[in-house]
Amino acid sequence: MNLHQERGAHAASPPTEDKTPFHGGRPLGQMRQVERACKRNHMKIELKAAPDVLVRNEGTVFLFCPLTPRAKEWIDEHVQSDAQWFGNALVVEHRYAWGLAEGMKEEGLVLS
């Protein structure tokens, strides 16, 4: 048999099957390792608290939308009474947004 015939015979043979069981594209052995790691580290998972204030950058201004009564009370106590509102959202110029957000976070409010 010459080299050409040898290659042809090899190319015509069916592909070998991998007998490794798969789940979601990973061998099951790897999946089991991931599962064990998740079980070991389950106490390290942090749940995110529901936000008190939704902050949106609208280009020329930021909107601070209080989502909880606590956030609304904080704004009423710490923001001057003639502040600009757009619906339920406090309108804040860029130069004041960072300081306002930091003040809210220092008081324990969660921003999103």
Write down the pTM of the prediction. 0.58
Residue of 40 and 83 predicted with greater confidence: 83
Partners of 85 in the β-ladder = 90
Q: Write out pLDDT tens, residues 69-109.
A: 999 999 999 999 999 999 999 999 999 999 999 999 999 99
pLDDT, average across residues 39-45: 55
Compute and round to an integer the Cα radius of gyration of the chain: 30
- Tokens describing residue 109: 């409010």
pLDDT in tens, 3-35: 555 555 555 555 555 555 544 555 555 556 655
User: Average of pLDDT values for 43-58?
Assistant: 81
Task: Outline where the chain has alpha helix (H).
Answer: 3-12, 28-40, 69-78, 94-106
Give the Cβ contact number of residue 35 at 10 Å: 11
pLDDT at 49: 82
